[in-house]
Structure 1
Amino acid sequence: MRQDSVRVPGPRSGPGAEELGWDDGLYERDGGGRDPSPPGGGHRRGGPKRGGPKKGKRRVLRWFAATVSLLILVTAGAGYLYYRHLNGNLGKDDLNLGDSKLDKSTPNAAGQTPLNILLLGSDSRNSKENVRLGGARAERGRKPLADVQMLLHVSADRSSMSVLSVPRDTRVTVPKCTDTDDGRVYPKTSATINSSLQNGGPGCTVATWEELTGVPIDHFMMIDFAGVVDMADAVGGVPVCVDNNVYDSKSGLRLRKGESVVKGEQALQWLRTRHGFEDGSDIGRAKAQHMYMNSMVRQLKAGTKLTDPGKLQDLAEAATKALTVDRGLGTVKKLYDLGNDLKRVPTGRITMATMPWVPDPQNAAHIVPKPDDADRIFSMLRNDTALDGKDKKKGPRKSPVPSDPAAPKAEIPVTVQNGTGTATQAAVTGRAALIADRLSQLGFTQAAADATPKSRADTTISYRNGSQRGDALAVAKALGLPPGAVRHSSSVPQITVVLGADWRTGTTYPKSADGSGGPDGGKAPESADTLNGNDKSACMKVNPANVQ
């Protein structure tokens, strides 16, 4: 607390000042003399005569000043100690345990950068409470699985948010991960995505997502059973809807037809149930989780649960105790700043989606990403394109400056970098030099390779200022890249080509690599089963076998 935020009442603080003992004896000059008249002029009343005793008055003043100072220090100290207490509540772990990490997203023309946060729900039975809530007592002590996984993508300008769920039984490539706590190395393997958490912790799940989607992950946040219950209680419950009475004996979820407010263990039952809803699978569970998140976001943005200081403190306690985050997000201040960033996104521009999928040909109990449709979703996230399709109406944002005519090719400096290496594929040696030579042959004689290691899913061409855009487009045309691969970046000194994992061979960009829905706009495919943040009419269809 700042000291200047505390005001000490004086003699003019109101009609009751005299009754509180404030009189002219407190108004004395530093030299020990007394001001002959009180502030504001007028006749003094009740003050001691000149030369009378003043020591008692001074002691009162000194005592009051000392008391106020002590209160300020104690209050500030208590606030600091409570801040440290909340920081201590947070669990912290490493962000990425893989050998190859994707480069961070490139800033846009205004220096703004997209934000990608991986949200994880752990089925940990590492405590008595988690065993009680999760059941399966025989599994106590086993390594947890990440049974809920959602990537939260916030656009660079904070105008939209896309949330993508990947069902837990999706078979993926889990890259090599090294546990930084004990040094154990987990080899690359093909497995369900939820098992990645067992290969050293959430940092391996982050590495798996980067390999699957090509989206660089900035942070992760993980919560367990008990944390879900505490958070649901702290926000006062969340409204959900079912189209019939439902009772799922496996999760314990029991609700009447229509809207209900779920909190505590009932909220956990809602988020965990698979058999209660129509398709009885993880796909239906993801849809129910999207409905819950949308409803909770609407409540928190409305502020109805955050006006009571006691409830706000309960929420702070519950949130910090419930979460494990990466070390880069490991303070309450950083979480608070993140929350303010997320609040800027209108609920109408929040889109929940599920990764398009097909049955796994190797195992009927598993699924795999649906070709084309899943690639389209991943490309949209990589290129900061909202899943709701509304970005198409904002063309000027994608091209903030007009294109000047290109300079003569021989006068355009171009840097070429090799970003073909990923978590599961080594970089193709010599790619930057090969493409730089090809550009020289095409007349761009100032093209040069840069050996700085990079890792990028999509090939991009970046330029620093508006006068260079025409030059960048000329480079793109020469290499066969689409105009959407050209972007304005505040972090490059000149035209910079980063060769991505989508262009590992040849000297002309393969047309098949230009996935639809990428940097030129688009909308999520129907198979993503999207839900808008403002949709209050959504209602889960109950599994007929569980109609109560």
Structure 2
Amino acid sequence: MAEHRKGRTPRRRGLRIALFALAAVVLVAVGLGGLAYWKLNRNLHGVDISGQLGSARPPASTDGSFNLLVLGSDSRAGANGALAGGSTGDTARSDTAMVVHVNQTHTAASVVSIPRDTLVARPACTGTDGKPVPAVRSAMYNSAFEVGGPACAVKTTEQLTGMRMDHFVEVDFAGFAALIDAIGGVDVTTTVPISDQDSGLRLAAGTHHLGGQQALAFVRTRHGVGDGSDLGRIELQKEMVKAVLGRIDTLGLATDPVAMWNLGDKLTKSLTTDSDLASVSSLVGLAQTLKQIGPEQLTMVTLPVAYAPSDPNRVVPRTAEAQQLWAALRADQPVPSTVLAQQPTNPAEASPSAAASRGSGAEALLGGAE
């Protein structure tokens, strides 16, 4: 399978840690005021998602729980091109996506990664050029962002999940690398060596301290570890999320205004949010809401998928498990045990023989074609 099995053609990789870049920004913003506050506000870019989508959406929650759609853009514009290489032309795709459900008491969150090449029904949208884009019965999930920008990505996700996306956050390659450098790097551990020509990452087995460019290579790595699947790479990205959160928690940013400013300035330049979040005061409010949620309060899963009968290079949601997952989150319930039991193994944590025999857990998640 080109994307999930072997991935012979190098593809653009995104980032699944945008929400946690946002968390870092709002921690910074809490301690800033005056001119610094104004400067960070000017850095932010907002998109009027609600205005574009209108009222034909799933109802908003009334119990205090809420949902965020977090996307990683594969744009090569500006500094992104030098970091990631390649070209997307005049467009960008949401090559990674997370649906983040924050519970009613704001004490825990469930994070669902949607594989980028999952085939879904894409609703009619307004294109980035302002022209109508017709509905498509079966299209790659990440194509919604490409043809219709954030609003189409939100609309497609709401149709897939049956949940209203209360907020939207996007981060790019440069924003992620800046985050890692601004917090002084992160520590990751792999029990197997990693050598990936596409991402440029080469690590011996053991614990490593990664700067921005190496961390970017880590979350983009696929071919150099495990079975080379996109699902295995998602597991590496989950490991990075927890490493970033753990690192931020130890920095003591509130007592270091220089570090606070450096981090906030870099990150706000790389974030795009819905218009309701596109201010420092709104981000501070979100930070206060999320302050009880750390790595131990996150449940991170990948949407259960199966190889698409129509195309071995694509996947489709496994209907029963996917419906159980989305129904649980709509009811503000934990991720079902049936979904948790099918999650892939982190290929960096498995022995080579175990990874080969299990397919790094990707086969368990994929199951059989429906």
TM-score tier, shorter chain, comes to 0.7 to 0.9
Q: Distance in 2 between matches of 1:266 and 1:307?
A: 28
1:104 aligns to what? 60
Find the partner of 1:141 among 68, 89, 94: 89
Find the partner of 1:185 among 125, 129, 132: 132
Q: Describe the SS at the equivalent of 1:265.
A: helix
Contact 1:98 1:175 (C-alpha < 8 Å) held by counterparts: no
Give CA-to-partner distance per residue, 1:322-377, whole Å, 9 cap, x none. 10000010101111221221121253221110001100111100001012111111
Q: Which has the larger radius of gyration?
A: 1
Give CA-to-partner distance per residue, 1:455-497, whole Å, 9 cap, x none. xxxxxxxxxxxxxxxxxxxxxxxxxxxxxxxxxxxxxxxxxxx
Q: Describe the SS at the equivalent of 2:70.
A: strand
2:342 aligns to what? 527
Instruction: Please tell me whether residue 228 in structure 1 is matched to residue 176 in structure 2.
Output: yes
Q: Distance in 2 between matches of 1:159 and 1:208?
A: 28
C-alpha deviation, 1:312, in angstroms: 1.2
Q: Describe the SS at the equivalent of 1:344.
A: coil
Q: Describe the SS at the equivalent of 1:527.
A: coil
1:130 aligns to what? 80
Give CA-to-partner distance per residue, 1:406-425, whole Å, 9 cap, x none. xxxxxxxxxxxxxxxxxxxx
Change (3 A) 1:121 1:280: same
Q: Distance in 2 between matches of 1:541 and 1:205?
A: 37
Q: Describe the SS at the equivalent of 2:264.
A: helix
| Mean CA deviation greater in 303-312 or 242-251 | 303-312
C-alpha deviation, 1:159, in angstroms: 2.0
Give CA-to-partner distance per residue, 1:48-70, whole Å, 9 cap, x none. xxxxxxxxxxxxxxxxxxxxxxx
Q: Describe the SS at the equivalent of 1:336.
A: helix
Identity %: 37
Q: Which amino acid aligns with 1:135?
A: G
Change (3 A) 1:140 1:282: closer
2:36 aligns to what? 82
1:246 aligns to what? 194
2:5 aligns to what? none
Instruction: Please tell me whether residue 159 in structure 1 is matched to residue 131 in structure 2.
Output: no
C-alpha deviation, 1:95, in angstroms: 2.1
Contact 2:123 2:135 (C-alpha < 8 Å) held by counterparts: yes
Task: Specify which structure has the higher proportion of helix.
Answer: 2
Q: Distance in 2 between matches of 1:156 and 1:524?
A: 21
Q: Describe the SS at the equivalent of 2:334.
A: coil
Q: Distance in 2 between matches of 1:337 and 1:124?
A: 29
Q: Which amino acid aligns with 1:90?
A: L
C-alpha deviation, 1:540, in angstroms: 6.2
Find the partner of 2:98 among 150, 156, 161: 150
C-alpha deviation, 1:529, in angstroms: 4.4
1:539 aligns to what? 349
Find the partner of 1:333 among 257, 267, 281: 281
C-alpha deviation, 1:130, in angstroms: 1.4
Change (3 A) 1:540 1:231: farther
Q: Describe the SS at the equivalent of 2:262.
A: helix
Change (3 A) 1:290 1:305: farther
1:11 aligns to what? none
Find the partner of 1:114 among 50, 60, 65: 65
Q: Which amino acid aligns with 2:341?
A: E
Question: TM-score, normalized by length of structure 2?
Answer: 0.80
Change (3 A) 1:540 1:299: farther
C-alpha deviation, 1:183, in angstroms: 2.7
Contact 1:278 1:541 (C-alpha < 8 Å) held by counterparts: no
Change (3 A) 1:92 1:356: same
Contact 2:68 2:168 (C-alpha < 8 Å) held by counterparts: yes
Question: TM-score, normalized by length of structure 1?
Answer: 0.55
Q: Describe the SS at the equivalent of 1:172.
A: strand
Give CA-to-partner distance per residue, 1:197-246, whole Å, 9 cap, x none. 11221111111111111111010110111111111111211221111222
C-alpha deviation, 1:524, in angstroms: 3.7
Contact 1:353 1:530 (C-alpha < 8 Å) held by counterparts: no
After TM superposition, the structure 1 = structure 2 runs for residues 121-520 of structure 1, keeping only pairs within 5 Å, are 121-127=72-78, 129-136=79-86, 139=87, 141-179=89-127, 182-189=129-136, 190-304=138-252, 307-387=255-335, 517=336
Structure 2 residues without counterparts, runs of 5 or longer: 1-31, 357-370
Q: Describe the SS at the equivalent of 1:316.
A: helix
Contact 1:351 1:530 (C-alpha < 8 Å) held by counterparts: no
Change (3 A) 1:85 1:329: same
Aligned length: 319
Contact 1:153 1:163 (C-alpha < 8 Å) held by counterparts: yes
Q: RCO greater where, 1 or 2, for CA within 8 Å and sep 6 or more?
A: 2
Q: Distance in 2 between matches of 1:297 and 1:264?
A: 15
Q: Describe the SS at the equivalent of 1:372.
A: helix
Q: Distance in 1 between matches of 2:256 and 2:214?
A: 24
Contact 1:125 1:140 (C-alpha < 8 Å) held by counterparts: yes
Contact 2:195 2:225 (C-alpha < 8 Å) held by counterparts: no
Change (3 A) 1:530 1:80: farther
C-alpha deviation, 1:118, in angstroms: 1.0
Contact 1:156 1:384 (C-alpha < 8 Å) held by counterparts: yes
Change (3 A) 1:140 1:366: closer
Q: Which amino acid aligns with 1:186?
A: V
